[in-house]
């Protein structure tokens, strides 16, 4: 059989760049919301001073106090759960109904959820709103990644994803400032209401500029093509996993039935989902071909490992700064700014390298090595280590995360035909979001257990069982008398060293998995079935 002819590459006109702008605007929304979900879901104390680098999480103590809540654990978890579980379905819907209607529906759902959160009168209302937000965020995450793949060939996509990474970094950078300012002025509801005009801007751009083909078929035919059984299975499995991880290590011990039962059922459900998808549905959410190559499996493994490390670093370095160096929440955010400042431009540079050479393995191997170096350097941190060491050690970590955040989809997509981009990227985004839950949970569990070992027993005994010792201790360290203050800070440094050891081992797993990917050629074309519709030459001439 002769190979198919290469699809025609359409010119990148103003409409193309406006669509890309719309994707960047939508990405900023999900960056703020997903960050707040990831960073807040394991912090049960409503009044902890732990800095979370997102708009909503900075304001959470104020929100919980005004709504008379006792915990903000599910404000983050509800978003994470809904968003992660919905991503595979979002990819499937985009394949069946078309990209345009799914991205517009996702933006509308995000706007609805934001309005519900902003008008919340109690915690139940707010958690329900966050769930709706999560559904919209999951759809936005999946569909924007798919639209980029429709418009930009894989060979050139590293540079474009680097540009999206800058939008993500900007959101993460301005989020805490906006959140802190609004919470301090008693206007926290505008954290959610501000999403409404942003969603509106993105929606208008998509309505006007995202003119793409709609798959043929009646509404009934399309509804019947949706893999509803697979969707219910992955939602149930993800829900069980997130519940188990949310409760693990702090509210309940890892060995308790409350953690083990949902976690085991959830992991078994994910395995069952993958098996079901490869055998039963005519239109599966995760076709068997996505994981049929060693390179593809390597790419998905790296996709899962990298967010665990990145979230672990940017979540627990502020813990070190606040506990051991006495930094305030805002100051710890400033001290880790080097991570964000390096992350985005490095990701852009890594994408540019792949664009120009077509090679993705060398920068990814370099990134894993740099990431392991940075985490390894964290092992040298003691309670009295100079602040400059922390700032400097963050740079190789940011270098590694920056490249990997814009590169792990290369081995995922390179073995596949361009027609499979949509479902492959939906599964890619599912794994990336799901990994963030693990990143916070693993570090939090290790830190909790190690603090119980290293803190002076008389001091640790004052905290009730089931409380998050780290988050309860940090705000009071500065008021402790000597030598207890030094002993507590030393305990934090020793406990965090074990966290870094665990993360270093996970990074080694990422590097090992990267060795199995092959250097395949990157597609230089896109699937014309999903490209922007172009005005015909005949119509232009007639005009």
Q: What is the pLDDT of residues 501-543, one digit of tens each?
A: 999 999 999 999 999 999 999 988 887 777 676 654 334 444 4
The answer to whether the 12-212+221-226 and 294-526 domains have the same CATH topology is yes
Report, as an integer, the average pLDDT of 451-471.
74
Percent of the chain with pLDDT over 70: 82
**Homologous superfamily of 12-212+221-226 in CATH?**
MFS general substrate transporter like domains (1.20.1250.20)
How high is the pLDDT of residue 542? 42
CATH 1.10.3720.10 fits 294-526, yes or no: no
pLDDT tens string 110-131: 999 999 988 988 888 888 898 8
pLDDT tens string 487-499: 889 999 999 999 9
Q: Is 152 left (phi over 0), alpha (psi -120 to 50) or beta?
A: beta
Query: Which one, of 289, 268, 303, lies nearest residue 416 by Cα?
Result: 289
What CA–CA distance (Å, rounded) separates 325 from 118?
36
Q: Are 85 and 100 in contact (CB under 8 A)?
A: no
Q: What is the domain partition of the chain in residue ranges?
A: 12-212+221-226, 227-282, 294-526
When pLDDT is cut at 50, 70 and 90, the band that residue 71 belongs to is low
Query: Which one, of 151, 165, 155, 162, lies nearest residue 410 by Cα?
Result: 155
pLDDT tens string 85-110: 888 888 889 888 988 999 999 999 99
What CA–CA distance (Å, rounded) separates 248 from 447?
12
**Count of CB atoms situated within 10 Å of the CB of 495:** 25
Report, as an integer, the average pLDDT of 39-68.
49
How high is the pLDDT of residue 275? 92
Check pLDDT > 60 for residue 8: no
Report the mean per-residue pLDDT for the chain. Answer: 81
Q: Is the peptide bond preceding residue 483 cis, with omega within 30 degrees of 0?
A: yes
Give 175-226 as a DSSP string. Answer: HHHHHHHHHHTT-TTHHHHTHHHHHHHHHHHHHHH--BPPPPS-HHHHHHHS
Which DSSP category does 155 fall into?
Answer: G
pLDDT tens string 396-410: 999 999 899 888 989
Q: Phi, psi (5° rounding) for residue 76?
A: -80, -45
Q: Which residue has the tokens 């100079």?
A: 386
What CA–CA distance (Å, rounded) separates 381 from 389?
8
When pLDDT is cut at 50, 70 and 90, the band that residue 175 belongs to is low
Report, as an integer, the average pLDDT of 146-175.
78
Check pLDDT > 70 for residue 49: no
Check pLDDT > 60 for residue 439: yes
pLDDT tens string 19-40: 888 888 888 777 666 545 444 4
Q: Are 484 and 478 in contact (CB under 8 A)?
A: no
Q: Phi, psi (5° rounding) for residue 208?
A: -80, -40
Selection from 1-5, 199-203, 210-214, 456-460 with the highest mean pLDDT: 199-203
Report CA dihedral (156, 397, 47, 238) to the nearest 10 degrees: 50
Q: Which residue has the tokens 């290293």?
A: 454
What CA–CA distance (Å, rounded) separates 350 from 359?
10
């Amino acid at each position: 059989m002769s190979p198919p002819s290469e699809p025609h590459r359409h010119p990148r006109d103003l409409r193309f760049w406006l669509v890309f702008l719309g994707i960047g605007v939508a990405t900023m929304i999900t960056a703020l919301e997903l960050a707040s979900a990831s960073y807040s879901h394991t912090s049960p104390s409503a009044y902890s001073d732990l800095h979370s680098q997102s708009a909503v999480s900075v304001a959470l103590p104020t929100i919980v106090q005004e709504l008379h809540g006792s915990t903000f654990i599910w404000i983050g978890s509800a978003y994470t759960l809904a968003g992660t579980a919905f991503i595979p379905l979002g990819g499937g819907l985009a394949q069946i109904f078309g990209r345009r209607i799914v991205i517009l529906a996702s933006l509308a759902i995000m706007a609805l959820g934001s309005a519900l959160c902003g008008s919340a009168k109690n915690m139940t209302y707010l958690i329900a709103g966050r769930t709706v937000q999560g559904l919209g965020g999951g759809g936005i995450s999946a569909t924007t990644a798919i639209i980029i793949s429709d418009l930009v060939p894989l060979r050139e996509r590293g540079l474009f994803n680097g540009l999206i990474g800058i939008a993500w970094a900007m959101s993460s950078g301005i989020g805490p400032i906006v959140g802190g300012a609004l919470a301090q002025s008693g206007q926290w509801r505008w954290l959610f209401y501000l999403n409404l005009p942003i969603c509106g801007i993105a929606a208008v751009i998509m309505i006007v500029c995202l003119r793409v083909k709609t798959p043929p078929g009646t509404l009934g035919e399309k509804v019947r093509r949706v893999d509803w059984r697979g969707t219910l299975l992955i939602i149930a499995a993800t829900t069980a996993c997130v519940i188990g991880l949310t409760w693990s290590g702090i509210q309940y011990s890892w060995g308790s039935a409350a953690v083990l039962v949902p976690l085991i059922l959830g992991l078994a459900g994910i395995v069952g989902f993958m098996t079901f998808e490869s055998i039963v549905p005519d239109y599966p959410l995760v076709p068997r071909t996505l994981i049929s190559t060693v390179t593809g499996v390597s790419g998905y493994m790296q996709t899962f490992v990298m967010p665990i490390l990145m979230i672990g670093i940017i979540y627990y370095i502020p813990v070190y700064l606040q506990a051991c160096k006495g930094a305030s929440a805002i100051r710890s955010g400033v001290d880790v700014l080097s991570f964000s400042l390096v992350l985005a431009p490095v990701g852009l540079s890594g994408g540019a390298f792949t664009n120009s050479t077509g090679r993705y393995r060398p920068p990814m191997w370099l990134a894993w090595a740099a990431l392991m170096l940075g985490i390894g350097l964290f092992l040298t941190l003691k309670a009295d280590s100079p602040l400059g060491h922390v700032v400097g050690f963050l740079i190789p970590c940011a270098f590694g995360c920056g490249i990997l955040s814009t590169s792990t989809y290369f081995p995922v997509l390179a073995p596949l035909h361009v027609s499979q981009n949509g479902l492959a990227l939906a599964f890619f985004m599912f794994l990336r979001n799901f990994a963030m839950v693990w990143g916070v949970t693993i570090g939090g569990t290790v830190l909790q257990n190690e603090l119980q070992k290293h803190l002076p027993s008389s001091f640790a005994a004052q905290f009730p069982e089931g409380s998050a010792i780290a988050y309860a201790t940090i705000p009071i360290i500065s008021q402790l008398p000597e030598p207890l203050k030094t002993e507590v800070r030393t305990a934090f440094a020793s406990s965090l060293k074990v966290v870094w050891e665990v993360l270093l081992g996970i990074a080694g797993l990422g590097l090992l998995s990267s060795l199995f990917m092959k250097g395949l050629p990157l597609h230089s074309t896109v699937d014309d079935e999903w490209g922007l519709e172009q005005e015909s030459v005949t119509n232009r001439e007639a005009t």
